Amino acid sequence: MVVASATTRSREEQIHGAIRAAGGRLTGPTRAVVGVLVESDRHLTADDLIAEIDRTYPGIAPSTIYRVLMRLDELGIVEHVHSGTSPAFYHLRERGHAHLVCNECGRIIDIPDSMFSQLAHTVEQAYDFTVEPRHAAILGRCAACRS
């Protein structure tokens, strides 16, 4: 069972404020998506969200969840990250961080943007290309799977 702590409660309201400030409407499905994202505080695929919302706030259509995610992404409330073969995952936008994804077990590791700085700088100089480190995960193999 999902229990909202005082902390997540205030976090949720803070995000509601941000949505209003960005010109978004606080509809039921939007609250549900934000609620699950705040509560789980993990990286969830659209499918994860659909399943979890179906348990917690039944009656919301999958298509609506896709649309809410798209809207919140545009409003800058959430971000999505591409991770190879598996579908993109979503998370609340917070202090920018990039991701490592293990090709074998799918484990997701958060890393600071700063680790990209040298690569980003080199690429900018050499190719006049601005890297968006948070938009795609770096793939590889985690220690456990490298056995």
Residue ranges in contact with DNA by CB under 7 A: 20, 24-30, 45-47, 59-64, 66-68, 70-71, 86-88
Stretch that binds a second copy, among 25-33, 42-50, 70-78, 107-115 (CB under 8 A): 107-115
| Shortest spacing between CB 2 and a second copy, in angstroms | 30
Instruction: Please state, in angstroms and rounded to a whole number, the distance separating the CA atoms of residues 51 and 105.
Output: 21
Q: What tokens appear for 108 in the block?
A: 């997701």
| Shortest spacing between CB 11 and a second copy, in angstroms | 27
| Shortest spacing between CB 128 and a second copy, in angstroms | 4
DSSP letter for 26, please: -
Contact 67, 25 (CB under 8 A): no
Element (H, E) at 108: strand 108-112
Residue 49 touches which of DNA, a second copy, none (Cβ within 5-8 Å per kind): none
Instruction: Please state, in angstroms and rounded to a whole number, the distance separating the CA atoms of residues 89 and 75.
Output: 17
Residue 8 touches which of a second copy, DNA, none (Cβ within 5-8 Å per kind): none
100 in contact with a second copy (CB under 8 A): yes
Strand arrangement, sheet containing 44-45: 44-45, 86-92, 78-83
Residue 147 touches which of a second copy, DNA, none (Cβ within 5-8 Å per kind): none
Instruction: Please state, in angstroms and rounded to a whole number, the distance separating the CA atoms of residues 125 and 97.
Output: 22
Decide whether 32 or 131 has the Cβ nearer to DNA: 32
Instruction: Please state, in angstroms and rounded to a whole number, the distance separating the CA atoms of residues 101 and 137.
Output: 6
Residues at the interface with a second copy (CB under 8 A): 82-85, 88, 100, 102-103, 109, 111, 115-116, 118-119, 122-123, 126-133, 135-143, 146
